[in-house]
Amino acid sequence: MLITPYPFPLVQMSRTLLFFWVFTLPFVIENSIDNIYHCCFIVFLITYGFLGLEYVSIELADPFGDDANDFDSSGLAQIVFEDIYIILHKFDGLESAETLRLNVSKMLKKGDALEVYARDNKLD
């Protein structure tokens, strides 16, 4: 693995403390605010904010994948390849750009990049 994973017990403890804090918040705010509607509104906003931050941290923990809200690494790589083809066509001509496009498409047909790298370098 390229990075050290975030320790699950730390994630579990932080979520437990977050939910405990959010669920006990109304009792604390109730004593300091007389109007019940203001109290409900403040609790809603604070809860919405903290739970939103929790969901953002869940998404940021694993930003790559196939979900709709994951980072589109293959789409951005395609844009970069297209920009490289355009620059190569501009400076070296159509033949060089088509040769690069053909070589890249051959590598893509081989399969996953890590598997190809391991197979080509005999890593297991």
In terms of domains, do 77 and 57 share one? no
Structure-block tokens of residue 28: 């604390």
In terms of domains, do 78 and 52 share one? no
Cα distance between residue 51 and residue 35, in whole Å: 24
How far is residue 110 from each of residues 34, 74, 98, measured CA to CA in Å? Answer: 68, 16, 19
Q: What is the pLDDT of residues 43-93, one digit of tens each?
A: 899 989 988 988 888 887 777 777 777 777 777 888 888 888 888 889 888
Residue 56's pLDDT is 86
In terms of domains, do 113 and 83 share one? yes
Cα distance between residue 32 and residue 118, in whole Å: 63
Q: What is the pLDDT of residues 19-37, one digit of tens each?
A: 898 888 888 888 888 888 9
The answer to whether residue 68 sits within a structural domain is: no
The answer to whether residue 94 sits within a structural domain is: yes
Residue 49's pLDDT is 92
Residue 124's pLDDT is 52
User: Stretch 90-109: mean pLDDT, rounded?
Assistant: 84
Q: Which of helix, strand or coil describes residue 117?
A: helix
Q: Classify residue 48 as exposed, middle or buried by CB count within 10 Å of its CB (0-12, 13-18, 19+).
A: exposed
The answer to whether residue 91 sits within a structural domain is: yes
Domain around 80: 73-120
Residue type, 36: I
Query: Using 50, 70 and 90 to split pLDDT, how confident is the model at 123?
Result: low
pLDDT at 115 > cutoff 80: no
The answer to whether residue 86 sits within a structural domain is: yes
Write out the E strands in 6-124.
none
